[in-house]
Amino acid sequence: MKKLTQAALFSGWLEKTFALKSEQRFWTWKCALGWYLQHGGGTIVETGCQRQTDDWGAGCSTTLFATLLKDHNIGELHSVDITADFLKLAQEVTSNLGIADRLHFHHADGVEFLSNFSQPIHFLYLDSYDWFPNEPRLTECQQHQLRELQAAWPKLSRDAVVLLDDNNLPGGGKTRLSKEYLADQGWVCLLDWQQSVWVRSEQI
pLDDT band at 58 (very low <50, low <70, confident <90, very high): low
Residue 183's domain is classified under what CATH number?
3.40.50.150
β-partners of residue 45 are 78, 124
Residues 147-169, mean pLDDT to the nearest whole number? 97
- What is the per-residue pLDDT for 2? 47
Which domain does 148 fall in, by range? 2-203
Residues 83-114 pLDDT 10s = 999 999 999 999 999 999 999 999 999 999 99
Confirm if 51 and 86 have CB atoms less than 8 A apart: yes
At residue 198, φ and ψ (nearest 5 deg) are -130, 145
- What is the CB-side half-sphere exposure of residue 147 using CA atoms within 13 A? 14
Gyration radius from the chain CA atoms: 16
Bridge partners of residue 124, in order along the sequence = 45, 162
Reported pTM: 0.92
Torsion of CA 78, 83, 88, 89, to 10 degrees: -100
SS3 193: coil
Considering its fold, how many domains does the chain have in total?
1
Angstrom distances, CA of residue 187 to CA of 62, 115, 174: 26, 21, 18
